[in-house]
Amino acid sequence: METPKPYGTLYMLPCPIGDGEVYDVLPEANRRLIASLDYFIVENVRTARRFLSRAAIGRPIEELTFAECNEHTRPEELGALIAPLLEGRSAGFISEAGVPGVADPGAEVAALCHARGVRVVPLVGPSSILLALMASGQNGQSFAFNGYLPVKPAERNKAVRMLERRALSEGQSQLFIEAPYRNDKLLDDLLGALAPSTRLTVAVDVTGAEEWIRTLPVAQWRRQERPSLHKRPAIFIIGR
């Protein structure tokens, strides 16, 4: 009777957030491991191929196999994505920017791997969420990432006030994001809804050449000229 192959491993592979050099934000150990893989589950094939080319992994990109997993992937399609791992082939998961599985695709694939007994290994790399919190001066002992706030103004203001209450009463930093083309509108809404003494962090282009991170009371934000956030990736943090 043939002995079953051991399962492969799913590696959660961070990639740069901005357009800087890969080696500025990723350790050499990541590049060596990536170079050993020939199967990648990715949020977007085009950006994944560009990242691997910039990482200089030492093999032609044309020799690699890619499978997409993003908001268009149906739950019933996930099994096919990890089928090669059940046959002993390891894979890397790459989102478009930062770390997969955290505010980016990857969690569903990792969960299925756990359910099937496949090992999941996270690698070190840049997370705009944690980097913004590190630089913010806000509470790093207790914090919550809330993803996207509602788009409709009334629902958004309600959500902002709820997050502010939590930040002020519990001391828990509240992090969230917005589609980059709506960042300026979100900042306007925050400055209109939050109390003057509430501290607000805006972190833009984290790890990029135009990185800008500032924490100020809302009253001070209202008095000063603000940078344009239009189409720039940003993290917002409410704290006390």
Nearest CA-CA partner of 13 in 59, 69, 63, 62: 69
Q: Band of the pLDDT at 1, cuts 50, 70, 90?
A: low
pTM of the model: 0.91
Instruction: Tell me if 123 sits within 8 A of 31, measured CB to CB.
Output: no
Instruction: Give the whole-angstrom CA distance, residue 145 versus residue 160.
Output: 13
pLDDT digits (tens, 9 = 90+) for 200-209: 999 999 999 8
Instruction: Give the whole-angstrom CA distance, residue 39 versus residue 2.
Output: 25
Q: Which residue has the tokens 């080696």?
A: 23
Nearest CA-CA partner of 60 in 35, 28, 23: 35
Q: Band of the pLDDT at 19, cuts 50, 70, 90?
A: confident
**What's residue 86's pLDDT?**
97
Instruction: Tell me if 48 sits within 8 A of 42, measured CB to CB.
Output: yes
Going by C-beta distance under 8 Å and a sequence separation of 6 or more, which residues neighbour residue 114? 120
pLDDT digits (tens, 9 = 90+) for 120-130: 999 999 999 99
| CA-based R_g, the chain, Å | 20
Q: Is the model more confident about 24 or about 199? A: 199
How confident is the model over 225-238, as a mean pLDDT? Answer: 94
Instruction: Give the whole-angstrom CA distance, residue 9 versus residue 117.
Output: 10
Q: Looking at this protein, which amino acid is placed at residue 123?
A: L
Q: What DSSP string runs through 37-90? A: --EEEES-HHHHHHHHHHTT-SS-GGG-EEEE-STT--GGGHHHHHHHHHTT--
Q: Band of the pLDDT at 3, cuts 50, 70, 90?
A: low
pLDDT digits (tens, 9 = 90+) for 129-146: 999 999 999 999 999 999
pLDDT digits (tens, 9 = 90+) for 20-67: 778 788 899 999 999 999 999 999 999 999 999 999 888 899 999 999
Percent of the chain with pLDDT over 90: 88
Instruction: Give the whole-angstrom CA distance, residue 129 versus residue 231.
Output: 17
Q: Looking at this protein, which amino acid is placed at residue 79?
A: G
pLDDT digits (tens, 9 = 90+) for 87-105: 999 999 999 999 999 989 9
Instruction: Give the whole-angstrom CA distance, residue 48 versus residue 106.
Output: 14
Instruction: Tell me if 238 sits within 8 A of 168, measured CB to CB.
Output: no
**What's residue 125's pLDDT?**
92
